[in-house]
Structure formats: C-alpha cells, structure tokens
Amino acid sequence: MTDSEEQPLCTESYGSHSAQRYWSLPSGRLSCIPDRKEDWRGRSVCDIFMSVFLPQGYPDSVSPDYLTYQIWDTVQAFASSITGTLATQAVLKGVGVGDETSTVTAATVTWMLKDGTGMLGRILFAWSKGSKLDCDAKQWRLFADILNDMAILMEIMAPAFPACFTLIVCTSGFFKCIVGVAGGATRAALTMHQARRDNMADVSAKDGSQETLVNLAGLLFSLLLIPLVAENLCLTYILYGLFTVLHLYANYRAVRAVCMETLNRARLRLVLHHFLQSGTVLDPAVANPREPLLLGSQKQLRLTLGAPLHTVVSNVAEFQKALDGNSSNYLIFFSQAAGTVSVLLHQQADSMDVIKACTHALILESLLYQPVSASLVERESLLDLQNRLQEEPDGENWAMVSESHRLLDRVFPKFLTGLTEAGWVTDRNLLGPEEWRVDWSIAKKKAL
C-alpha cells in the first residue's frame, strides 16, 4: 500500500501511555499502528499490576510526590506488620495462651478492658485534636507512628510484669486507638493532597490494596519468624529494635517526601521569614523539606485565629482601640507577657484574610523571637518595632500594633504576589481558624 492510498485519521493514547496512530484504508477500514514497538507481553503484565495497585491515569492523576511517598509507606507498613506480630504473640502469651493455670474468663476480661480503654481513647483524642489533624498532617502522621511503636514495645514487655499486665496492655490499647484516629485522619488528608483529578476514592482504594499486599507479605514472613522467636526473648527484642528503626526511618522519609502546596502555619512561617530576609518567596518544593516534623519543636506565640470576642476584650475601650484605623477583615490582640496573639475574624473574612491575619501574627512573633537586623524587606521599620517592643511594657502595645498594620499593608501585597508566582495555593489554607466570626460594622457606623 502506498502513502497516497493511506490517510492519517487520528491518534489515541491511554493516559500517559504511548500513542497509537490510526489510518484510513481505501476500503474504509481503520488501521492501527503504534508509534513505537513495545514488548506487548511485558506491557500487559505491567498494565495489570498498575491497574490493580495504582490509581487510574497514574502518574498524571496524582501529585508528583505520590510514588516516593508510597514506596516508603510500603516499607514502613511491612516493618510495622512484623513488630505487630511480635506484640500479638506477647499479648497472647500474657493473657494465658498455653498456660494451663489461666482461665478463659480472666483472658476475656483482660481483652475487653484493653478494647474498652482503647475506645475511650479514640473518642477523647478525636474530640480534643480532630480539628488540628488536617493542618499538620505530616507532623501528626509521624507522631502516630512513634506512638504506635511505643504501644508495641509496651505489649512486648508486658509479660515480664505479670502484676501490671492488665494496666500495661490497657495503656497500650489506649495509645493504639489514638494511633488509629491520627493515622487514619492524616492518611485521608494526604490522600486529598495526592488526588489531582477528583479521584480521592480511587487513590484511597488503591492505597488500601497496596497496604493489603504488604500485610500479606508481612504475614508470610511472620509465619517463618514466629517459630524462631517463640521461646527466645532476646531475639524478640533484637528484631523489634531493628524493625522499629526501619519503621521510623521509612516514616520519616515518607512524610518528608510529601510536598504540599497549601499553607499551614509551619510552612507560612518558613516562607515569611525567608521573604523578610531575602525579598523572595520559597516555592513548595524548597519549603516543604525544611518544615519541622516534630510538634512544638520551635518557640512560638500561642496564636488563636477566629477567637471569641469575650476571651480578648473586657471593655468597650479596648474594642474601640482595636477598631481605630483598622480596614482589614480581622482585629488583632497581642499580649507580650502572656505570649499570645488572638485574632478576631470578620464574618466576611475569606482565605486571603486568614492568611493576612496569620502573617501579621507571625511578624509579631518574629519581632519577639527572631533577629530582624538581616532583613531586606522593611528593615528599618522592623528594627524600630522590635526596639519599641523590647522597651515598652505590655499593655502599651496598641500604637505598635497599629504601626504593624501599616507595615503589613505595605508588605503583604508583594508577599501575596510572590506566593502565587511560587505556586502556593491561596484560595484555601490549612491555618486552622476557629469558627467564631464577628461583625463590627455596627460599631464603625456609630463611630461615624
């Protein structure tokens, strides 16, 4: 067939796979010609594996950090499966499995107390920290894995302390249920970050398939391991230590691989400090590896976004001072002695206003705890404010807060432009504002 007899019609591709070119034959039939030769047998096996364990459309349907994260997550899941098996063996031995003197009733009561304590822990932790897990998903994920290893260690050690066995396993169950809440919630937050085509359910389902495969591999390995450690306590401790180190390292690498484009307080703090020092904004790929992964590892002001009015204002005069000269959709109250910044958010405040309010609070934090002499942005104004902050007693900071408002009005537009150009998401945030909102337009109208 000559080129004049063939007519190119269209091309077709499946996701990021190689394209196929379709030709129109003189008979009216279609002729399919792949753009390049491939080993279709190998390609078929690879396609089956990808369709079973990877989201549809991979890699275009997920975030760029997906594969690296999943590899390390697989390693940590395998290590956790092995240490979990060692803990299960220890708990079963502790409740009396294989001991003729123990009773079924005693073992059942111990197990029920363990489960009941864990249920209580699940409810309490979700109530106290549930709203914070989205904001610091990476930190809470690492915290959950450290706590999980502590709980497993307690279970392995429990048989050595028969008098305190029930207390130890109940405490371990309490910890493990906290791990379940923190791990499950942060996994959902990371899945939302990884899903790029409104395919969160598919990403979550395939993540479950990957974890099931890893647990199956861990089960098979455990079947070979258990006979070796059944009567060898020293070997149990050695294997626990080795797999725990692997588990924690893999978890660290996994959360460190995550590159989020949404601002939380830690990432905003990093980006803002770099901006004040250099005048440029770090992009997500540079800022994320610098994000601290241990909760409470830095000296910070206690910041409350969306605070209720009665917690920060005791009289009308204080409220009027906060309103004077303020044109933003937030009011800021700063106490140097208490180390707190409380922000009232207006009912019309959007994500941009929340980012601006948090930026304002973090600038005050920098004035307290960071040297600003090296700043390239508004260096003289920052030094002046820092000197006044150190000289003036607490309670006389209203003039300084007002000046910081004017400073922010000059700095924030350029900072916001830099955030957008660097690839940060600003139409939503993970800064963790509370739900309280205030409408002070009535007070402003009366003042006029």
In this prediction, residues 271-281 reach a mean pLDDT of 94
Question: Across residues 388-414, what is the average pLDDT?
Answer: 80
Separation between Cα atoms, residue 59 and residue 52, nearest integer Å: 14
Q: What's the confidence (pLDDT) of residue 50?
A: 84
Question: Reduced to 3 states, what is the DSSP secondary structure of residue 391?
Answer: helix
Higher pLDDT, 1 or 414: 414
Residue 83 in tokens: 């240490």
Could you give the CA distance from residue 421 to residue 283 in angstroms, rounded to a whole number? Answer: 9
Q: What is the pLDDT of residues 290-332, one digit of tens each?
A: 999 987 766 678 899 999 998 888 888 888 888 877 778 999 9
pLDDT band at 431 (very low <50, low <70, confident <90, very high): very high
What is residue 394's predicted lDDT score, i.e. its pLDDT?
57
Q: Where are the domains of the chain?
A: 7-53, 66-258, 263-447
pLDDT tens sequence across 117-145: 889 989 999 998 888 888 999 999 999 99
Chain centroid to CA 200: 16
Distance CA 166, CA 445 (A): 65
Please say whether the beta carbons of 32 and 22 come within 8 A.
Answer: yes
DSSP 300: -
Least confident span in 1-10, 26-35, 87-96: 1-10
Side chain identity at residue 109, one-letter code: V
Is the pLDDT at 283 greater than 80? The verdict is: yes
What's the CA angle centered on 339, arms 337 and 343, to 5 degrees? 115
Residue 446: which pLDDT band, with cuts at 50, 70 and 90? low
CA dist., res. 336 & res. 301, Å (int): 9
Give 327-389 as a DSSP string. Answer: -SSEEEEEETTTTEEEEEEBTT--HHHHHHHHHHHHHHHHHHHS--TT-SSSHHHHHHHHHHH
Q: Which two tokens stand for residue 3?
A: 């080129």
The whole-chain average pLDDT of the chain stands at 86
Residue 169 sits at φ, ψ, to 5 deg, of -70, -30
| Residue 284 one-letter amino acid | P
Q: pTM for the complete prediction?
A: 0.86
Answer with the residue of higher pLDDT: 403 or 105: 403
Task: Say what the pLDDT of residue 33 is.
Answer: 67
Return the CATH number of the domain spanning residue range 66-258. Answer: 1.20.1250.20
Q: What pLDDT is attached to residue 36?
A: 55
Q: What is the pLDDT of residues 336-369, one digit of tens each?
A: 878 889 999 999 999 999 999 999 999 998 888 8
Between CA 218 and CA 85 the distance in angstroms is: 9
Pull the structure tokens for residue 128: 């106290």
Question: Is the pLDDT higher at 224 or at 40?
Answer: 224
In this predicted structure, what is the pLDDT of residue 342? 92
pLDDT at 443 over 70: no
Residue 42 has pLDDT above 80, yes or no: no
Is residue 9 classed as helix, strand or coil in its secondary structure? strand
- Write out 21-79 in H/E/C secondary structure: EEEECCCCCEEEEECCCCCHHHHHHHHHHHHHHCCCCCCCCECCCHHHHHHHHHHHHHH
d(CA 383, CA 406): 15
